[in-house]
Amino acid sequence: MENTKVRTCSNCEVGHLEKDTRDIKITRQTRSAVVSNVHGFFCNNCNEIEFDDTTDSATRYAEAGDKLVLANRAEAAATLKVQRKKLKLTQAQASTLTGGGHNAFSRYENGISPPMPAVVNLFKLLDKHPDMLRELVS
Ligand SMILES: [Zn+2]
């Protein structure tokens, strides 16, 4: 045998890590991508990967994940902007409605910071029931 030393996964503490090279599908919210030729130690019980740091696998994996997160954030920002405009609210009015500071919606719509899920959910509801806006603003 080439390698008889079996390492236990530090994530689940049940599985064993197996050295391999795999194509890994990563998913962030609604988007996914495949990172090919990931070198590392793969748990046979959970999805944990200990990357082989003599390769660029960890960097490529992280970059692919970041790209998905940024694409999701850009889509969420665009959706929020459409919903706000349909409600005929200025960014300042929308910010007053949801809190987060006077320029919160500018930051959300420009992708500078992601909105809290409560903001996303409120605008999703108001998009379907715009008449309810009258109950929130006077
Ligand atoms: Zn594990």
**124 domain residue, yes or no:** yes
pTM score, whole prediction: 0.74
Say how many Å lie between the CA of residue 17 and the centre of ligand 1. Answer: 8
CA 118 to chain centroid, in Å, comes to 16
Domain count, the chain: 1
Joined together, the tokens standing for residue 105 give 């919606």
Instruction: Profile the chain (138 residues) by mean pLDDT over runs of 10 residues.
Output: 74 96 94 97 95 96 95 93 97 94 93 91 97 88
What is residue 111's predicted lDDT score, i.e. its pLDDT? 86
Q: What is the CATH number of the domain that holds 52?
A: 3.10.20.860
42: enclosing H helix or E strand: strand 31-43
CA atoms of 24 and 36, how far apart (whole Å): 6
In this structure, are residues 71 and 77 in contact, taking their beta carbons and an 8 Å threshold? no
**1 domain residue, yes or no:** no
Residues with CB under 5 A from ligand 1 (ion): 9, 11-12, 15, 43, 45-46, 48
**63 domain residue, yes or no:** yes
**2 domain residue, yes or no:** no
**111 domain residue, yes or no:** yes
Q: Which residues pair with 27 in a beta bridge?
A: 32
Say how many Å lie between the CA of residue 33 and the centre of ligand 1. Answer: 22
Say how many Å lie between the CA of residue 70 and the centre of ligand 1. Answer: 28
What is residue 1's predicted lDDT score, i.e. its pLDDT? 46
What is residue 50's predicted lDDT score, i.e. its pLDDT? 95
State the sign of the Cα–Cα–Cα–Cα dihedral 102, 106, 109, 110.
negative
What is residue 94's predicted lDDT score, i.e. its pLDDT? 96
Say how many Å lie between the CA of residue 60 and the centre of ligand 1. Answer: 21
Count Cβ atoms below 10 Å from residue 77 Cβ, excluding itself: 20
Which domain covers residue 93, as residue numbers? Answer: 7-133
**138 domain residue, yes or no:** no
> Beta strands 31-43 and 49-51: pairing type?
antiparallel
Say how many Å lie between the CA of residue 78 and the centre of ligand 1. Answer: 38
104 contacts: CB under 8 Å, gap ≥ 6: 94, 95, 98, 115, 119
